[in-house]
């Protein structure tokens, strides 16, 4: 199919391939809310999975230590926040409605603002006073019909600052535009092409993990499970769509992230395969883990989406990659937090919503190597005995050669009492040097990111900035570390007068 024909056909494909078919009526009494409340009374570390206490927050943090004079800007974050409505509680962490947060850092201190994303789903359920729509792994009583992914888009995974705008991102729907200052929801954003037309991309899935090159060029993907297609986006620095294309993928799986190099887009497709939606299943139920099959590795020419090939690795699951680069000889290198299966998503994040803690596995940091001359691929573990997740890099080296990765971590033989990742680390891929700060067991860290110092060389001087939940004091905190002295502990700790639900991803502006 030619490019113009494909672009014309994609909206129709998207309209007829909603990720979420409406299951049948809910049967039985839902007891997850009461189970979770009982568990929380016994285990305060579950505080991070409690539903948000209000739709909006504004406060000035109390600061211990000294905020670096050169550090000025805003940490935007997103994550599931409303986990309950009425007497109903969602059955998976990823089903909670999204809340955008802004931690504004200046010489005057650190302020916080949080706002629920006013999606169609959120407003409809607020008006109805009950849960209406099925989610990734939740079916409420008597669900309403679902006609499009954006009807159930919870905008709860990540944020995207791009060309002066801010977007709240989900896995399978359109980006929701957010006012940079007030955090009020502007509405669904429809990207336009150079002629100003938006119809060619309306309704297409836009994933939560776009990759942005240093010049502002944006790459992203989406997936259409019921028709077996992967969609790829190319958007310029001004927000104009340069290209959208689709690749057949059979069987379809559930990709969450990808990487970009100077010439290629690379994505691992684990054998967590989409089968079929029944009248009683959820979208998550419609997938089967088939470890006897290979993980397919898709390598796409970024300048011509019709040029691609598949390689194979042993069965594995990857949520997040750090970065990728490609040398002059055509060798691609990238890193990721690799797990042996998706049980953390299918089991742990399910059970915790009713207050049950389960250790469903570990993720190890791996490096991958693809030789595009021989089309061979290899992988090797970089850190043994250490769990890792949420890898982050200096944004100035995105899609280019890099050596430093910031990540959350934990030692397998010395776990925390709450059972989650309990440390932040900075790892040098070239030398193997690892610098780590371990949080007290009463604090659960969230994603931490690298913020470069003004005018510093790439990957050198900077700060590591991240949030954490102090469940003993009932407060969300923001901590600032000198990246070169991470193990020395934070330079400053900003404490909010309230606790927020644990979130997912953020970006610093």
On the question of pLDDT at 346 being above 50, the answer is yes
On the question of pLDDT at 280 being above 90, the answer is no
From residue 14, give the alpha-carbon distance in Å to each of 11, 123, 233, 360: 5, 23, 14, 34
Residues facing residue 408 across a β-bridge: 389, 424
H-helix or E-strand containing 246?
Answer: strand 240-248
**Secondary structure class of 27 (helix, strand, coil):** coil
Residue 350 main-chain phi, psi, to 5 deg: -80, -55
Is the bond preceding 251 in cis, omega lying within 30 degrees of 0? yes
Stretch 202-225: mean pLDDT, rounded? 95
- Taking phi over 0 as left and psi of -120 to 50 as alpha, with beta for the rest, 183 belongs to left
Bridge-based pairing state of the strands 259-260 and 376-381: unpaired
CA 408 to chain centre: 14
Residue-wise pLDDT tens digits, 426-442: 999 999 999 999 999 99
Give residue 274's pLDDT.
96
* Lowest-confidence pick of 1-10, 75-84, 197-206: 1-10
Task: Measure the CA–CA gap between 395 and 414, rounded to whole angstroms.
Answer: 32
Give residue 202's pLDDT.
77
What percent of the chain lies above the pLDDT cut of 70?
A: 94
Query: Cα(first)–Cα(last) distance of the chain, in Å?
Result: 40
Give residue 281's pLDDT.
80
Residues with Cβ < 8 Å from 227, sequence gap 6 or more? 13, 16, 17
On the question of pLDDT at 452 being above 80, the answer is yes
- Which pLDDT band, with edges at 50, 70 and 90, does 47 fall under? very high
Give residue 197's pLDDT.
87
On the question of pLDDT at 360 being above 90, the answer is no
Q: Tell whether the torsion through CA atoms of 252, 157, 129 and 52 is positive or negative.
A: positive
Stretch 108-136: mean pLDDT, rounded? 97
Q: Classify domain 3-508 at the CATH class level.
A: mainly beta
- Which pLDDT band, with edges at 50, 70 and 90, does 203 fall under? confident
- Which pLDDT band, with edges at 50, 70 and 90, does 27 fall under? very low
Stretch 482-497: mean pLDDT, rounded? 98
- Which pLDDT band, with edges at 50, 70 and 90, does 113 fall under? very high
Task: Measure the CA–CA gap between 225 and 51, rounded to whole angstroms.
Answer: 30
Burial class (CB in 10 A: 0-12, 13-18, 19+), 230: buried
Structure tokens at 433: 């040097």
Q: How many CB atoms lie within 10 A of CB 17?
A: 18
Give residue 323's pLDDT.
98
Q: How many CB atoms lie within 10 A of CB 344?
A: 19
Contact predicate 189/165, CB 8 Å: yes
Tally the residues of the chain. Answer: 509
- Give the 3-state DSSP-derived string for 128-196, with helices as H, strands as E and coil as C: HCCCCCCCCCCCCCCCCCCCCHHHCCCCCCEEEEECCEEEEECCCCCCEEECCCCCCEEEECCCEECCC
Q: What is the pTM of this model?
A: 0.95
């Amino acid at each position: 199919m030619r490019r113009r024909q494909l672009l014309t056909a994609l909206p129709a494909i998207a309209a007829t391939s909603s990720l979420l078919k409406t299951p049948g009526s809910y049967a039985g009494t839902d007891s997850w809310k009461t189970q979770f409340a009982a568990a929380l009374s016994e285990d305060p570390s579950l505080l991070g999975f409690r539903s948000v206490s209000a739709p909006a927050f504004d406060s000035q943090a109390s600061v211990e230590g000294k905020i670096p004079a050169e550090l000025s800007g805003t940490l935007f974050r997103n994550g599931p926040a409303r986990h309950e409505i009425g007497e109903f509680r969602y059955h998976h962490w990823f089903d909670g409605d999204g809340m955008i947060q802004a931690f504004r850092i200046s010489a005057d201190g650190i302020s916080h603002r949080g706002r629920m994303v006013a999606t169609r789903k959120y407003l409809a359920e607020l008006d109805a006073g009950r849960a209406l729509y099925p989610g990734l792994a939740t079916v409420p009583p008597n669900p309403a019909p679902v006609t499009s992914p954006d009807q159930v888009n919870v905008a709860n995974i990540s944020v995207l600052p791009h060309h002066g705008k801010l977007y709240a991102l989900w896995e399978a729907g359109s980006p929701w535009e957010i006012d940079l200052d007030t955090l009020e929801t502007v509405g669904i954003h429809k990207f336009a092409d150079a002629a100003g037309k938006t119809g060619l991309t309306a309704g297409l899935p836009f994933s939560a993990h776009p990759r942005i090159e240093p010049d502002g060029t944006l790459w992203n993907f989406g997936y259409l499970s019921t028709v077996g297609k992967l969609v790829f986006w190319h958007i310029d620095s001004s927000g104009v769509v340069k290209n959208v294309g689709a690749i057949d993928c059979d069987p379809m799986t559930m990709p969450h992230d990808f990487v970009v190099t100077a010439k290629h887009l690379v994505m691992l497709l684990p054998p967590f395969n989409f089968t079929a939606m029944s009248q009683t299943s959820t979208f998550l139920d419609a997938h089967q883990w088939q470890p006897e099959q290979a993980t397919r590795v898709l390598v796409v020419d970024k300048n011509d989406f019709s040029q691609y090939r598949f390689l194979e690795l042993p069965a594995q699951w990857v949520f997040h990659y750090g970065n990728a680069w490609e040398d002059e000889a055509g060798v691609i290198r990238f890193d990721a937090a690799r797990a042996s299966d998706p049980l953390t998503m299918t089991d742990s994040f399910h059970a915790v919503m009713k207050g049950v803690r389960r250790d469903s596995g570990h993720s190890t940091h791996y490096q991958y190597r693809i030789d595009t001359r021989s089309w061979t691929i290899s992988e090797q573990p970089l850190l043994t005995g250490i769990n890792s997740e949420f890898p982050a890099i200096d944004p100035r080296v995105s899609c280019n050669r890099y050596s430093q990765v910031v990540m959350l971590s934990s030692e397998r033989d010395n776990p925390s009492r709450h059972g989650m990742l309990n440390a932040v680390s900075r790892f040098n891929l070239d030398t193997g040097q690892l610098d780590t700060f371990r949080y007290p067991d009463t604090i659960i860290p969230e994603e931490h990111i690298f913020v470069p110092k003004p005018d510093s060389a790439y990957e050198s001087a900077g700060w590591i900035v991240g949030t954490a939940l102090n469940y003993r004091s009932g407060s969300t905190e923001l901590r600032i570390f000198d990246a070169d002295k991470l193990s020395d502990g934070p330079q400053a700790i900003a404490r909010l007068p309230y606790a927020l639900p644990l979130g997912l991803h953020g970006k610093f502006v």
